[in-house]
Amino acid sequence: MTEPLLSIEDLRVHFHTDAGVVKAVDGVSWSIGPGETLGIVGESGSGKSVSALAVMGLVEVPPARYESGRILFKGRDLLTADDKERRAIRGKEISMIFQDPLTALNPVFRVGHQIAEVIQAHEKMGRIAARAKAVDLLGEVGIPNPRQRAREYPHQFSGGMRQRAMIAMALALDPLVLLADEPTTALDVTVQAQIMDLLIRLQADRGTAIVLITHDLGLVAGHADRVLVMYAGKVAELGTIDDVYYRPRHPYTLGLLKSLARMDQRRSDRLQPIVGQPPSLIRVPPGCPFNPRCPFATDICRQEMPPLEPKDGPDHLAACHHSDQLALQQSPAAS
Amino acid sequence: MTDQAVPAAPPVGEVTLEAGASGFGGAETQAAAVGGITRQTQFGNVRRRFLRNKLAVVGLVMLTIVFVTAVFAPIIATHPPRAQDLNITLQGPSAQHWFGTDELGRDVFSRVVHGTRIAVTVGLASIFLALVIGVVLGSVSGYLGRAWDALIMRIADVFFAFPLIIGAIMIILVVGRGVAPVIIALGLFSWATIARLLRSSILSIRESEYVEAARSLGASKWRIVTRHVLPNSMAPVLVYAMVSVAAAIVAQASLSYLGVGVPPDVPDWGNMISSGQKFFGFKDYLWFFPSMAVVFTVLGFVFVGDGLRDALDPRLR
Amino acid sequence: MTALVEVENLVKHYPIRSGIVFRHDVGAVRAVDGISFDLEQGETFALVGESGCGKSTTARAVLRLIEPTSGSIRFEGEDITTAGASRLRALRREMQMIFQDPFASLNPRMTVRGILREPFTIHGLDADGKVEALLNMVGLLPEHAGRYPHEFSGGQRQRVGIARALALNPKLIVCDEPVSALDVSIRAQVINLLEDLQAQLKLTYLFIAHDLSVVRHIADRVAVMYLGTIVETAPTDDLFERPSHPYTQALISAVPVPDPNRERARRRILVSGDVPSPVNPPSGCRFRTRCPKFANELTEAQQQRCIDEPPALVDRGEGHPSACHYAEARELV
């Protein structure tokens, strides 16, 4: 791997709430290189979005507290950088898109105006030039009639169009990293295909690194180079998609792959679910957080959190005491 | 603009959502799954949040003092409230008469204490009346809709358009003065907002999936309204009612002050302020103490109402 | 096998009214526009499609939670579209519904016991011992009965919702996206439970979903809906292996599968634009405005036919009915 562009090191973000301490991110590390796509997969409450929000400075402190960690962008730690430096990076070098574009777009301003404003905030550019660039961007993300649509308000856009507009805004300053938090979850599947197609095309044109945060293992299989599997605020497994899907070394990954109904296969007799419920981030079980649901669990799993260690090769990491046993299992993804 | 850089407005709720999705909501859940380590009922949660709000607790203490005073007025009062003694008129506060005496030699402290009874009675009774009218009409309007809704909401508009005091004066001019007319007058002019609040709350609840589930089970309209819709739409109404009691107490005192409330011989804060103002500037204790009683009681209701609102809906914090 | 439910030419239009004093109709949202299908005893029939295609409206009309504008629904041969209030109440025991959102479908102020006793109370039946039996049936414990919905996780709540639907021992259960709000690791548990219950209680499912992976696993037959009409219907494997309507093909090709090699090898059929408004659907074939086949493969004369003539839902030699003049089966998965 080349020099990473953005890397997170041993990040711990804990939320102090009435009910207790929510360990949303608890010792998470990942990195992404230029032009790469990293998938971050997890269920709701796994903390999968929190590290990205921390990169953007969107985690409110308090209730949150950074217990440890660094967020390095081109070697600069965003957590200790001064405000001016952070502002110069966030939005310009790194930008983010969200599941619901309606909450991210301001309903009282015209779409074109909002995009132009973002451009002007970072670049010395006249209003007319910024407007023209906004129209170009809307055209580039596949909005028909961009000149006219730029003068419309967000509510006049359909869900898919809004997501396109938000992508246009996020790409306005040609960022090096795009954080995409469930960008297609609220969309229909044919529109999802359009949006993913657009992201890939833009990535190819501009060499943007994309962090794709989702719960959909299919989406990651189709679009990511590497994948990070999160469980209960911790990293369960990290590796190339082929390693993780075909040679999973964490029982949670294996369990997820086994439990999925597949559209491309004739009906199997029965799905094989993961037993039990995902834990609350306030009461994460001691030892490995997955141990109460894990078919491989032994005493050591209940006592000791397994370290995230290389398995097979240096780039395939898993946090499991028994990953050797998993190596003997046939992955359900292999077809 | 500090965050111009960020192309998207920070979705403030989102952070807690992701972190909390299984965090807050899931806390109890998980306990339930592993056999009930801690069980938190909804009531328990509301109580905990209420008691953590300092102002709400202060309000609760204030209201307790008010209610105790109202209930035990004859014991707390040092003199009979209507006993006149023309030998000791207009005396300032003393060990004998803590809040002094008025122009008829009546003990101001005892009258303030007894005034609590009128204030609390009128405040609670009128808002209770408003609740009964508002809940019935609001439910009909919200759940049955159509022509009922249009009719009831237009009537509500009419009542809403009148200032509380003016409306109440009109009623009292027709039926005459007294405690009951004041209660009826204030109740009649306070239900409109309650009905509207309940209606809008019902409109959202009636579309909920659990109401649809009840319909698919074959539940009658009556059952759906009383079991599913009302219990889930009453919270904002009750909070509003709590604050309305304060408004009713102020209105009640104002009516007395204007000379159209309860009869002048009744120990009532409005009456006392009204007769005390003649001595404004040299016997200020005459209007000061009853005024403070009004402020104290009103603040108590407002603090508790606000605290209740925050406790019932943590999102508003 | 006999048909438990027969839906014929079902139409549901929501009028759009205008004017304050003189209310008059200025148009209609054609949510469901003339669809027909049968549900066989004991099968799982899936209605799939994207948001706004009319699948949920259809489901609710079958249960008569929504009054259809026209068309007929027969349950065990009896036309229930004209059933009066008391007959309808009796029919409620025969057909029930499982809802999408387990956080919204349970009354937050009732305990699980209250929720599960309600069906019996409504129909004047004895509920003694039933709550425990139902909880047991859906994999919950009797001691869960005293708890409130918010004390459960999503998967457990959905089990409570399923128990409520089973209470009156219905023949038909409409499942409205029953797993789409659940976490990935919980979905399989609930799908297995639905399958076990079907086998055990001889239930018939009308399964509403947008997730084709779940549909492929659970359904016996599938109908694909687009803008208020059925565009293709077939036995499940047939539909997935030989889809013949361009919309079905686009839908299937858009669903990602959790298999990197397959994903690399697949080709996507992208449809352009957004779903048109159901107030003013396109003339002729409703899909033509977004149809990749219409845009790329058809001659002008062929296109004219799509514009003029609404295609009938018939078998054009592809082995199952498809509402496309130029239906042609393709292998996509």
Cα separations (Å) of C190 from A252, B117, C98, C157? 18, 59, 12, 11
For residue A47, give how far its alpha carbon lies from the nearest alpha carbon of chain B (Å): 6
Would you give the DSSP letter of residue A90?
B
User: CA-CA distance, B305 to B48, in Å (whole number)?
Assistant: 15
Preceding peptide of B181 cis, ω within 30°: no
Helix (H, G, I), strand (E, B) or coil at A56: coil
User: What pLDDT is attached to residue A217?
Assistant: 92
Grade residue A2 by pLDDT with cuts at 50, 70 and 90. low
Closest B-chain CA to A85: B5
Mean of the pLDDT values across residues C316-332? 88
**Are B113 and B190 in a shared domain?**
yes
Question: Same structural domain for residues B222 and B251?
Answer: yes
> Rounded distance, CA C331 to CA C229, Å?
24
Q: What tens digit of pLDDT does each residue of B266-297 get? A: 888 988 888 888 888 888 888 899 999 999 99
Both B142 and B7 in a single domain? no
Q: Do B169 and B215 reside in the same domain of the chain?
A: yes
Same domain as B41, residue B144: no
Distance from the Cα of B41 to chain C's closest Cα (Å) equals: 8
Q: Is the pLDDT reported for residue B317 higher than 80?
A: no
Name the domain count of chain B: 2
**What pLDDT shows up at residue A144?**
83
Residue C259 reports pLDDT greater than 70: yes
**For the segment C60-108, what is each residue's pLDDT rounded down to a tens digit?**
999 999 999 999 999 998 999 988 888 999 999 999 999 988 888 999 8
Residue B28: predicted pLDDT: 30
Contact list in B for residue C152 (CB cut-off 8 A) is 29, 32-33
Contact status, residue C46 vs residue C218, Cβ threshold 8 Å: yes
Round the average pLDDT of chain A to a whole number and report it.
87
Based on the fold, state whether residues B196 and B235 are members of the same structural domain: yes
pLDDT attached to residue B1: 35
Q: Confidence band (pLDDT; 50, 70, 90) for C20?
A: low
**How do residues A185-210 score in pLDDT, each as one tens digit?**
888 888 888 888 888 988 998 889 99
Q: Residue length, chain B?
A: 317
Among A88-97, C203-212, C322-331, which range has the highest average pLDDT?
C203-212
Task: Tell me the count of A-C CB pairs closer than 8 A.
Answer: 148
pLDDT reading at C218 higher than 90: yes
B40 with B152, same domain?
A: no
What average pLDDT does range C212-232 have in this prediction?
94
The reply to whether B71 and B165 lie within a common domain is yes
Contact C260 A264 (CB under 8 A): no
Q: Does C277 touch chain A (CB under 8 A)?
A: no
What domains can be seen in chain A, in order of their start residue? 6-224 (3.40.50.300), 230-327 (no CATH)
Whether residue B1 sits in one domain with residue B136: no
Based on the fold, state whether residues B169 and B181 are members of the same structural domain.
yes
B17: pLDDT strictly greater than 60: no
Listed range (B213-222, B247-256, C264-273) with the worst mean pLDDT: C264-273
Kindly report, residue by residue over A230-281, the tens digit of the pLDDT: 999 999 999 999 999 999 999 999 999 988 888 888 876 788 889 888 888 8
Q: List the alpha helices (DSSP H) in chain C.
A: 55-62, 85-91, 112-122, 130-137, 154-166, 184-201, 212-218, 236-241, 246-254, 260-265, 292-296, 300-308
Tell me the percentage of chain A whose pLDDT exceeds 90.
26
Domain around B17: 1-49
Please give the average per-residue pLDDT across A78-88, as a whole number.
83
| Span B13-20, average pLDDT | 30
Q: What does the alpha-carbon distance between residue C225 and residue C50 come to, in Å, rounded to a whole number?
A: 8
pTM across the whole model:
0.82
Each residue's pLDDT tens digit, A52-73: 988 888 888 878 888 888 898 8
| pLDDT tens per residue across span B82-92 | 888 888 888 88
Closest-CA distance of chain B to residue C209, Å: 17
* Residue in chain A nearest B21 by alpha carbon: A45
Query: In 10 A of CB C79, how many CB atoms?
Result: 12
Q: What's residue B7's pLDDT?
A: 37
Set of chain C residues whose Cβ sits within 8 Å of the Cβ of A267: 216-217, 236-237
CB atoms B212 and C65 under 8 Å: yes
Flag whether pLDDT at B16 surpasses 60. no
Average pLDDT on A216-229 reads: 93
pLDDT value for B66: 93
CA distance C96 to chain B (A): 6
pLDDT above 90 coverage of chain B, percent: 31
B18 vs A contacts (CB less than 8 Å): 24, 44-45, 47-50, 53
Q: What is the CATH number of the domain that holds B183?
A: 1.10.3720.10
Based on the fold, state whether residues B111 and B8 are members of the same structural domain.
no
Residue A80: its pLDDT value, please? 84
Phi, psi values for residue B199, rounded to 5°: -60, -50
Largest CA distance in chain B: 80
A242 contacts C260? CB cut-off 8 A: yes
Give the confidence band of C1 by pLDDT, cuts at 50, 70, 90.
Answer: low
Residues B253 and B305 in one domain: yes
The Cα C65–Cα C62 span in angstroms is 8
Closest CA to C99 of A324, A27, B208: B208
Residue of chain C nearest A260, judged by CA positions: C188
